[in-house]
Amino acid sequence: MDTLGSAPVAGVDFKRVFEGAPGLFLILRPDVGFSILGASDAFLRATYTQRSAIVGRGLFEVFAGNPGDAHVVAAMKKLRASLARVMATRADHAMEIQRYDLQPPKDAADDTGERYWHPVNSPVLNEHGEILYIIHRVEDVTVRARVENNLRATDILQSITQGFFALDRSWCFTFVNREAERVMGRSCDQLIGKVIWNEFPGLRGHELEAIYRTAMNARVSGCKTAYYADHGRWYEVHTYPSPDGIAVYFRDVSDVRKAEAQQAQLVAASERQRRIYEAALSNTPDMVYIFGLDHRFIYANEALLKLWGKSRREALGKNCLELGYERWHAEMHDREIEEVVATRKPIRGEVPFTGAIGRRVYDYIFVPVVGRDGDVVAVAGTARDITDRQHAEQAIRMQAERLAEADHAKDEFIATLSHELRNPLAPLRNSLSLLRLAGNNDLATAPVHEMMGRQINHLVRLVDDLLEMSRISRDALVLRKERVAVGAIVHNAIETSEPLIRAARHDLHVALPEEPMWVEGDPVRLAQVLSNLLNNAATYTEDGGRVAIEAKHNGDHVTVSVSDNGPGIAPEALPRMFEMFSRGARSGARGHGGLGVGLALARRLAEMHGGTLNARSNGPETGSVFTLRLPLAANQAADAPIAEPPLSRLAQTRILVVDDNGDAAESLGMVLRLLGADVRVAHDGHKAIEVFGDYEPAVVLMDIGMPGMDGYEVARTLRRQFPDHCAALVALTGWGEAKDRRLSQEAGFDHHLVKPAEISALQALLTSLAGDGAAGTGSGL
């Protein structure tokens, strides 16, 4: 019987080096059973084996596993084929990932034994090209495989050759795969929801019952091979606790395969060992190296030699500094080698290095090599190029920064746009209040005033929505619900869409039931949904077409349908009509644009009201129908209209209005004068400070975003120059974000209102200030 020698080469016991080096390796003899000649320490740890128990035995004897296990059968078959290919071609062969489960020791409680391996078989040739040995190198890829397997769990469970079923905590079947149906002779429909003990009474008192109950009650996995008399078969059963109960894998192992390999004698000589270890360590794409205790390289594989651009003769025996490492780099490795020798613990790090292939970044690890007497005799290490990974990570970080900047710019744009839109809305609302206060509200003009008020309020709400885009994308849009008549919603929607319908000369048909129907909802949002549908119909339908809107009572729901005789919707486009940024596939002579968010937002608003929004079309040139379905309010009795409270008088209160927008300032001043206030107007900050000193107002209503001297600076100046004047400063601005309110408070403002302020709300604030006794040296509020 040949024996393994351990003659040192260049002062190193290569057997010890091989056994202690990182990586999972076996040395096989190319005989019938592929006898195991040597194994690395990492391989023994990973497979829960001992060197004395496997060396000298055949590979397929040591790792025969359970012959009834389909994974074992497949893995062994492919391994045999790979080894046969290496024997025939005398070339390396990398196998695909294989599953080969282990039996972990009892103290490994959290280890189920499931393993996935990536094997590579490499021949070691003599000078005549004959195979001396085969290096069997494997990588444990269990974690990665489990992640991938979870993505295909359901399909795999149905396709695996093992039987599988799941039980809930009441011992009822919740899943049965096809193989389990075949083996148990029962269909899934016959088992789902049934108690296992009732369907298979032979399990009561059976030794398999114990591992079922251990997995269920103690939450501990189990494995048992036992004979089940009711079937006349032997089964290997694996039980695993799951969140809802237990999962059970089983297979028929009645025809267990006998061991195929016989024990063989160990053969190897010391020079042959050196060549085996050399082939194994140089056959990896990673850089593998060994330092002597004097910090000089005593081994470097081909990958590292290529990085250095040197031959083995030029490199071995030299230290890092002599091989061109920068001084800081060489000194760092010197310290790390000493630490590994002293502590016997690995050290890992990342470091840049400029070699023959340019400057790259490497992930490296140093580990101790322990001799027979227990002393550290060398330090082995590996290094891997991670430059591309770091570049990818940097690109991801830069992209995230760009996205954050773009998102910030978007928020700034929306805030600015909202401010600019609020400026023209302020004089419009003020002017409407002037008309009402002036008494021009007779029977002929009252409906017009009401319509103007609704549309201004609608515009204000839409402007507010510009600042809620992020909330809309997170489904966090807040509804302002109230009890509202469906007819009023329909009329408001028609009022909004009427200009577009009229411009296209469409014939609009409206059908509403005589009895009012009431829903709980946000009237502006619901009108927005219907006006969106009407606008779509008007846009896509050829001029002079027909558009209809009809509301119907349907049990405890109401349906509102918008139909047209336009070009219709292709069947393949219907499923995408309500997707964000989808603009549909309808065609027609009328041009249409938009961002494609209208229908998506409309459906989300409908769902937020507990309703639905759907589309229907029989195809091209058949028109289309969009139907909104909403739940009716519990109480359908009509509510009495709530009269708007009259505005109180301001009794000659001195008020200074400051705004660079002349229309907004003058119209607000006119409204306040009609309410009885004594008002002065300033159109810039400097004028406001000048007027304040002479006029001594009780209240200052001031814009923020003024050119030259903004409202913040004016407020700080007034508080600084007139410390004894207790005038109330009220910000009246288009900027309404939380940070804007914080800034106005820090500048000295007492209150913050957003344009266009409702006159009733402004009047309520002024009245509350009068109640608090806030006043300047002039007339008090």
Q: What CATH number has the domain bearing residue 94?
A: 3.30.450.20
The reply to whether 130 and 227 lie within a common domain is no
pLDDT of residue 201: 92
How far is the CA of 210 from the CAs of 20, 214, 215, 224, 411, in angstroms?
A: 42, 6, 9, 10, 62
Instruction: Please tell me the least confidently modeled range out of 130-134, 349-353, 552-556, 597-601.
Output: 597-601
What pLDDT band is residue 327 in, cutting at 50, 70 and 90? very high
pLDDT of residue 775: 39
Residue 226 falls within a domain, yes or no? yes
pLDDT of residue 58: 93
Tell whether the model's pLDDT for residue 452 goes beyond 90: no
* For range 707-720, the mean pLDDT: 92
- Alpha helices per DSSP H over 438-549: 446-466, 469-473, 486-503, 523-540
pLDDT of residue 545: 93
Nearest one of 104, 93, 99, 80 to 30, comparing CA atoms? 80
What are the tokens at 231? Answer: 């079937």
Cβ contact 297:323 at 8 Å: yes
Tell whether the model's pLDDT for residue 240 goes beyond 90: yes
b/e sequence 269-283, b meaning 16+ C-beta within 10 Å: eeebbbbbbbbbbbb
pLDDT of residue 3: 39
Structural domain of 741: 405-445+647-781
Nearest one of 35, 119, 38 to 75, comparing CA atoms? 119
Q: Across-strand partners of 123?
A: 134
The reply to whether 290 and 369 lie within a common domain is yes
Tell whether the model's pLDDT for residue 535 goes beyond 70: yes
Cβ contact 728:700 at 8 Å: yes
pLDDT of residue 428: 63
The reply to whether 627 and 483 lie within a common domain is yes
* For range 110-138, the mean pLDDT: 88
Q: What is the pLDDT of residues 643-676, one digit of tens each?
A: 444 545 567 788 999 998 888 888 888 888 888 8
Residue 274 falls within a domain, yes or no? no
Residue 56 falls within a domain, yes or no? yes
What pLDDT band is residue 379 in, cutting at 50, 70 and 90? very high
The reply to whether 627 and 654 lie within a common domain is no
Residue with tokens 């009795």: 637
pLDDT of residue 149: 62
The reply to whether 575 and 590 lie within a common domain is yes
- Among 631, 655, 689, residue at a domain's last position: 631
Please tell me whether residue 429 adopts helix, strand or coil conformation: helix
Other Cβ atoms less than 10 A from the Cβ of 204: the count is 10
Pairwise pLDDT comparison (746 vs 100), residue with the higher score: 746
Region of 71 please: left (phi>0), alpha (psi -120 to 50) or beta.
alpha
- Give backbone dihedrals phi and psi of 625, rounded to 5 degrees, phi first: -135, 125
pLDDT of residue 272: 66
- Give backbone dihedrals phi and psi of 145, rounded to 5 degrees, phi first: -65, -40
What value, to the nearest 5°, has the Cα angle with vertex 370 and ends 364 and 372? Answer: 160
What pLDDT band is residue 6 in, cutting at 50, 70 and 90? very low
Residue 610 falls within a domain, yes or no? yes
How far is the CA of 356 from the CAs of 309, 324, 365, 387, 667, in angstroms?
A: 5, 11, 21, 15, 78
What are the tokens at 435? Answer: 């008309």
The reply to whether 652 and 698 lie within a common domain is yes
pLDDT of residue 263: 37
Q: What is the pLDDT of residues 496-528, one digit of tens each?
A: 888 889 888 999 999 998 888 999 999 988 998
Measured between alpha carbons, how far is 739 from 744 in angstroms, rounded to an integer? Answer: 9
Q: Is the pTM of this model over 0.75?
A: no
Nearest one of 264, 242, 84, 120 to 174, comparing CA atoms? 242
Measured between alpha carbons, how far is 173 from 193 in angstroms, rounded to an integer? Answer: 5
Tell whether the model's pLDDT for residue 640 goes beyond 70: no
Q: What is the pLDDT of residues 35-57, one digit of tens each?
A: 999 999 989 988 899 999 999 99
The reply to whether 662 and 768 lie within a common domain is yes
3-7, 26-30, 305-309, 570-574, range with greatest mean pLDDT = 26-30
- Among 385, 419, 434, residue at a domain's last position: 385
pLDDT of residue 415: 63
User: How many independent structural domains does the chain possess?
Assistant: 5
Residue 400 falls within a domain, yes or no? no
Q: What is the pLDDT of residues 146-191, one digit of tens each?
A: 666 655 666 777 888 889 999 999 999 999 999 999 888 889 889 9
The reply to whether 228 and 344 lie within a common domain is no
Nearest one of 12, 11, 13, 44 to 27, comparing CA atoms? 44
pLDDT of residue 4: 45
Q: Which residues contact 502 (CB under 8 A, 6 or more apart)?
A: none
Residue 257 falls within a domain, yes or no? no
pLDDT of residue 643: 47
What pLDDT band is residue 385 in, cutting at 50, 70 and 90? confident
Measured between alpha carbons, how far is 72 from 51 in angstroms, rounded to an integer? Answer: 22
